Amino acid sequence: MPASIFSAKELACLVMNSQGVDQNLIAPADHFELATMQLEAADERRERRQLEVGSLSSTSQAIHCPQEEEDDGRPTPPWRSFILKVFCSVSMFLLLTLLLELFAKEKVTHLSRHVMSCIGLPGLFLFVFLADGVPQPFTYVPLIFMAVKASVPKPVVFGVCAAASYCAALCGYLIGSKMRSLPCGDSLYLRLVNWQPWVPDLMERRGAQGVAMAALMPIPLALATWTAGSFRVSVPQFLLAGMFRFPKILVFVLLSGPSPDVAITHEHVLWG
């Protein structure tokens, strides 16, 4: 037998060693394939989570979309607060008028005639003009009441107050149109915006309609007219919108109760 021929025992050992080498070569391949499968599974899980998150976000956007269309971040007038304020103002005015008529009618009449004899209709015009022409929180409703109680005819009271308010609206528009060019114009405009942030947006979107709406609201008229002037609202339309303060004046003139029975006999009560 040649020397190169191995014995059966040696051949068995060689076969076993070769199988071990093959197993050692196969093991890394198995590990690589396993790792690849794990990475693919992780990628699939990640993609699944992204799809779930995307579907949830799209659902939430679909739910909130109508709200975004209704509320686009712009300031809006506090309608509920305005309605409550109007209701409380009218109710308090009627209550005070009734109480004064019942318990202090003569004193109120005497005081009203004394005040009107001092200021007259020119004074009433001036007070209403300043109240509606300058941004301030005070009202001229007590003067309307006192003028009626001083036996000034209600049509006269309404005419004087309406004319003064309309002139104040025109002056407010002129002031607003020149306000930005003044040295302190920007700071003054910012103060107006901070007072009622929704007014500039209303003037920008609605123009003269915004002026008419603001004139009916329980806010200083000067806020609307000054802002309308700064936005250069159409003048012909503004001339019409400025009259929308008249209904408010008319309501308080009519609610001021009946005039005293004694008619006015002195001219100084009317003209001061």
pLDDT digits (tens, 9 = 90+) for 144-182: 999 999 999 999 999 999 999 999 999 999 999 988 777
* Verdict on whether the full-model pTM lies above 0.75: no
Name the band, by pLDDT with cuts 50, 70 and 90, for residue 49: low
Q: Hey, which of 66-80, 148-162, 178-192 has the most confident mean pLDDT?
A: 148-162
271 or 121, which is more confident = 121
Give residues with Cβ within 8 angstroms of 27, minimum separation 6: none
Residue 48 pLDDT > 80: no
Give the model's confidence band at 69: pLDDT under 50 very low, under 70 low, under 90 confident, else very high: very low
Q: Where are the domains of the chain?
A: 7-44, 79-271
Q: Give the chain's mean pLDDT.
A: 78
